[in-house]
Amino acid sequence: MLTESRRQTNYNVAISVLTLFILLAKMIAYIMHYWWPIIGLAVNIAMTALWAVSVYGQMGPDFADPRYPSPIAWYIRKGCDLARPFGIERSCQLAKASFGVSVYILALYVFNLGIAIWAMLPRDGAEDRDDEDEDEKVEDKNWEMQSIRSPTMPMTPGRNVPYTPRTMAFHTLDRKLPLRYE
């Protein structure tokens, strides 16, 4: 049978690995445009709950020694100076650092949960803004194939070459400037 301390350690390792997996999956889903607000809300609710249980387990009641029952773990309530005579000061510092990291991750997931809830709130004109963004994307894609002739230059065959960013680089290598025709 596992002790409470060992069970808490296994739980913390498991959610740390799960958190890493979810962060990698979230990054891939975001890049592939499959990270929708409803998925973010569900994931953040689950991860906030898991990390809240972890923080509570680390700082929760400590009844291991019946002579000194404590509602909060002794290494959080008091400093690690108490552990020095027993030679476990380093373990105390490690436990405090682990607790600090868990609290920090919990704060990040609570913040992410707030953003996910805010993203789920309906806003006026949200559909209109999406349509405008798509129109801007189409207009932005047409900038590359511009003609290099000036407005005063007459249309002549062979001289009206499309201009791309690479055109300038290749003409510079050949010492041919794109606006000079001889």
Whether the pLDDT of residue 134 is over 70: the answer is: no
Q: How far is CA 168 from CA 144, 145, 159, 160, 162, in A?
A: 12, 12, 15, 14, 11
pLDDT single digits (tens) 67-95? 878 888 888 888 888 888 888 899 889 98
Domains of the chain: which residue ranges?
4-123, 144-182
Question: What is the per-residue pLDDT for 71?
Answer: 86
| pLDDT for 138 beyond 60 | no
Tell me the C-alpha distance between 50 and 91, whole Å.
24
Give the pLDDT confidence score for residue 115 in this predicted structure: 94
pLDDT digits (tens, 9 = 90+) for 34-55: 989 899 999 999 999 999 999 9
pLDDT level of residue 167 (50, 70, 90 thresholds): low
Q: What is the pLDDT of residue 179?
A: 61
Give the mean model confidence (pLDDT) for residues 127-155.
55
Average pLDDT of the chain is 80
The answer to whether 153 and 163 have CB atoms below 8 angstroms apart is no
pLDDT band at residue 135, thresholds of 50, 70 and 90?
low
DSSP secondary-structure letter at 86? Answer: G
Please say if the pLDDT value at position 155 is more than 90. Answer: no
Q: If you ran DSSP here, which 8-state letter would residue 125 be given?
A: T
Alpha helix (H) ranges present in 69-125?
Answer: 74-77, 89-120
